[in-house]
Amino acid sequence: MIIKPRVRGFICLTAHPTGCAAHVQEQIDHVRSKGAIENGPRNVLVVGASTGYGLASRITAAFGSGARTMGVFYERPPKEGKCATAGWYNSAAFHRAASAESLYARSFNGDAFSDEMKATVVEAIKEDLGQIDLVVYSLASPRRQHPRTGEVHKSVLKPIGEHYSARTLDTDRSEVSEVKIEPATEREIQDTVTVMGGEDWELWMEALNGAGLLAPNATSVAYDYIGPEVTWPIYTNGTIGRAKVDLRAAGQRISELLKANAGGNAFISVNKALVTQASSAIPVVPLYISILYRIMKEKGTHEGTIEQIQRLFATYLYNNEVPKLDDKGLIRIDDLEMEPEVQEEVNEIWPQVTSENLREITDFAGYQEDFLKLFGFGLSGVDYDQEVDPMVSLDG
């Protein structure tokens, strides 16, 4: 079948297997171009391994350090005449590339929040790897069925305490408009924390530790975002921000658990604003990213997902580096984004953007290109008019 992008809001309903493979290969090539990461991880578990920062982490560990990797994700496989999700095709491409390099790779497709998945992965680690020295937690989901109560919790993107009104970007229509969002209820706040906070990360680490599967000096890292004040009402000070506070608190408890296990540690890495399936859903953020991309590309400081994670591994976590932390104990690889000069230019451009000059004074074109790449579209060297078989197995 010939697969073309079908975009609805912040999601693309189709994904291109050949394009996704090309996107994965681009990331592998970048990691290789930077050279080997010394004293890197050997046995790695990535929870949320199929897209975005989780996929980049798996690629960096495998092709930068020669690590054996396990990945957990929840993706839709292909059906006859219907393509799979991008994460499925990404993971299949990763498996093929790892196999070509004789790198161990094993993946589990299912509900990472469930006790059953944790038990399955624990047994697989016992069988195949023995112990894990790096756990990456990069799970992003709009809903979670709690493993203890069976209750389904759904996250919301809302401010807390008062109504929120701000400029935003309708990416479907390429229109700058005003968005108005009512404040979250207490139940919505708690549900968002339950879905996107740190409880599940902590449950994973407790399961691994309880089974004796954490290696001496094991590391765990989860990903966060803070951003500039223009995004704070809907992000940092909103429901997502409340969940991130919970994530950081869990990180501190996990650090104590790992330190007791022969000197390990847990870190929260605050990453740059980038086009991901998660960030595309947040009001205001697409407009901010479009402005930010223009500024950082002009300065030569722009990084994509794989550049961020390769730099995290190579200059913070490994290569004999001691992680540099801010006054709150966070790794800040959003440092280039948050440079005062960059943010001053964002604030200067922000009120000037209209639907008419959007493409002239921002990099909305770059935003759209990166968005389509998430689903395997717009990759050089891929013939999108050619028939392609969507029936790709996870093992290639």
Contact 288, 363 (CB under 8 A): no
User: Which pLDDT band holds residue 140 (cuts at 50, 70, 90)?
Assistant: confident
Q: Is the pLDDT of residue 280 over 80?
A: no
Taking residues 278-292, report their average pLDDT. Answer: 87
Does residue 259 belong to any structural domain of this protein?
Answer: yes
Taking residues 284-312, report their average pLDDT. Answer: 96
Does residue 359 belong to any structural domain of this protein?
Answer: no
Does residue 31 belong to any structural domain of this protein?
Answer: yes
User: Which pLDDT band holds residue 166 (cuts at 50, 70, 90)?
Assistant: confident
Write out the two tokens for 377.
């579209």
Q: Sign of the CA dihedral 152, 155, 159, 164?
A: negative
What's the whole-number average pLDDT of the chain? 94
Q: In this predicted structure, what is the pLDDT of residue 396?
A: 56
pLDDT in tens, 56-106: 999 999 999 999 999 999 999 999 889 999 999 999 999 999 999 999 999
Q: In this predicted structure, what is the pLDDT of residue 231?
A: 85
Q: Is the pLDDT of residue 257 over 90?
A: yes
Q: In this predicted structure, what is the pLDDT of residue 173?
A: 84
> For the stretch 63-95, what's the b/e string if a residue is b when 16 or more beta carbons lie within 10 angstroms of its beta carbon?
bbbbbbbbbbbbbebbeeeebbbbbbbbbbbbb
User: What 3-state DSSP class applies to 223?
Assistant: strand
Does residue 204 belong to any structural domain of this protein?
Answer: yes
Instruction: Compute φ and ψ for 83, nearest 5 degrees.
Output: -75, 160
Does residue 289 belong to any structural domain of this protein?
Answer: no
Does residue 50 belong to any structural domain of this protein?
Answer: yes
Does residue 17 belong to any structural domain of this protein?
Answer: yes
Rg from Cα positions in the chain: 20
User: d(Cα 377, Cα 363) in Å, to the nearest integer?
Assistant: 18
Taking residues 153-175, report their average pLDDT. Answer: 89
Among 127-131, 242-246, 317-321, 328-332, where is mean pLDDT lowest? 317-321
Contact 274, 305 (CB under 8 A): yes
Among 64-68, 164-168, 194-198, where is mean pLDDT lowest? 164-168
Domain residues for 105? 7-147+193-283+303-339
Among 31-35, 145-149, 162-166, where is mean pLDDT lowest? 162-166
Q: Is the pLDDT of residue 295 over 60?
A: yes
Does residue 378 belong to any structural domain of this protein?
Answer: no
Among 12-26, 189-203, 257-271, where is mean pLDDT lowest? 257-271
Q: Which residues does the annotation mark as catalytic? A: 235
Task: Give pTM, 2 decimals.
Answer: 0.96
Write a three-state SS string for 185-206.
CHHHHHHHHHHHCCHHHHHHHH
Task: Please count the structural domains in the chain.
Answer: 1
User: If 0-12 CB within 10 Å is exposed, 13-18 middle and 19+ buried, where does residue 147 land?
Assistant: middle
Kindly report the CATH number assigned to the domain that includes residue 129.
3.40.50.720
